Structure 1
């Protein structure tokens, strides 16, 4: 009996000595595995969200089907939904399936747009090459033709329809500009072309906004004492807008957009000598005589604080420092790039390679269309983080630069 009792005691002692610690190890290991699995799932979901955002957020091709559905599921500008909250709202398998469908759809849409934009590029390049043979073609514009043509070829070879759209808009703007210039005497044409390339052409002294589908341009805010302000042109902040404050023409030039295209306000301004008085036509048929004694460069050297922020407060503490206008995709009211019109001192880009006149196309693979989209993209970053910016110089060269972000 003693031996049996001793055996029981020995077994109990053995269990206490080895069994419980082993059980603890198993429980801890299982807990660690579950924690690891949770962390991996969390990382995978975050990776899926990042892929989804880069795929459709601000992508002008994401306007129908699965791509639009995916875009609608992601938080928009001003939406404070966190990734943790999204994880509760979205089923990961459904999200991955939607991403896969969106990729297929966007690849098809990209191919369709690529063919259309390539055709437009070839037609516009032919027109420009024909214009180059005319005796009055401005020398200042010849280099721009070459660089924009090279840019068009680069984007086409990269199969980047949105980027190609940017270069086509630049080519068409140049074609419209030079078509007018070559009708003038050579000396005057060269002077105007030089002013256009150096930023010495006239400005209304106002922040502008495009109405959808080429309906005209509205003024968002004006510089005190600037041409628009002195001429009595009203802004959105003066009480909204109607046909009486939608600009549709300057002198004999139609105005359908702010920056790029044959019928842009900038194109019209580049045909007018600085110091002239221009007739600004509104959509309701009324006109204003405006003394254009302020250059594009004069506006850019003024502090950004001279203008109000049309988008109001942002959700980010990052001071990117770029102000500008959107380039819109043709036949689709979507932004495809942002032209820099001013750079804030001591901001993220103040000491970078970016300059006024450059077009920001992407930040860390996110498509950029507006200042608002830049704020939304950088809201996920912190002071000291580095982002990669793809941009097109005002002379038409595609470049990439790394920007270290700073807070306000």
Structure 2
């Protein structure tokens, strides 16, 4: 082993978990890297566990573009935006690496093996460009109708220890599924060490069975509130709570002006610590002009689910002198419940006037306040089949 190794760590956590979520209902499509262990997401457990094994000069998380702003706001790690492929995500992270060596692992390989890690370091020498753990293939194997010598087969795992510049150069010369294949294809020397079944990758929903000894998600409840107002605008359709209200006027707004769904969106963002609706959909962005607020709310709630949250209930109050809201409360309730993949018993809609006081009383606009309670998705109860 080289002495005083100067190593940085990259953890890959930018995937969409499409295979993992493929059989899940929409209200439980949590990305595997965001499975909650207590309050801790799985990617953070992996980062913390690796940090205990070695004093890395840098630790960088490659995370999806959708998760980037949120993670950066909440967690004290260095994050970079991932790309469309694993290779692009690695390349994005490598731009920030300043050490001669880099260890690259996947958040999906949640169960570390300390012996494998030590062997990675011990196998590195001056002639080696990449050290890789592997598993042998125990069964007879064929390829395109021909039987092949299984002793020649290796199932490659991570983490992989690479010379940084060698990897950077190799990744510019083709498309590769991992670091070792990129370096090997471009003339680098690979050292193989025995891997471990503990390093099995969490890929499909059924793989959750292996996580049964990990902590349950926390039972904390997260409260969020939102408030929004919009002035009236003549000769415009009024949309409130995702349904059309019979009226000669609608709302003056950059989007469709659905003041109820805007307040509810802010409440959900408040519960998960995700900022506010203006951060996500600024009114300076022309792509959101006349946007359907149902789709905006769905985008935010789908994001909340993907990082491990689900709604418990929502309580919404509409402040309006006109139009009369009572005839529409049931339809609004059903509309909101459908957007949030929940039962209408978990949605409450209230309506009141302001006794002719203020801009609402003067019939100039409507205000809505929304409160929600949310919790972590209990993936052990709702996703995992015991």
TM-score in terms of structure 1 length: 0.22
Select the structure with the greater relative contact order (CA < 8 A; seq sep ≥ 6): 2
Structure that is richer in strand per residue: 2
More helix as a share of residues: 1
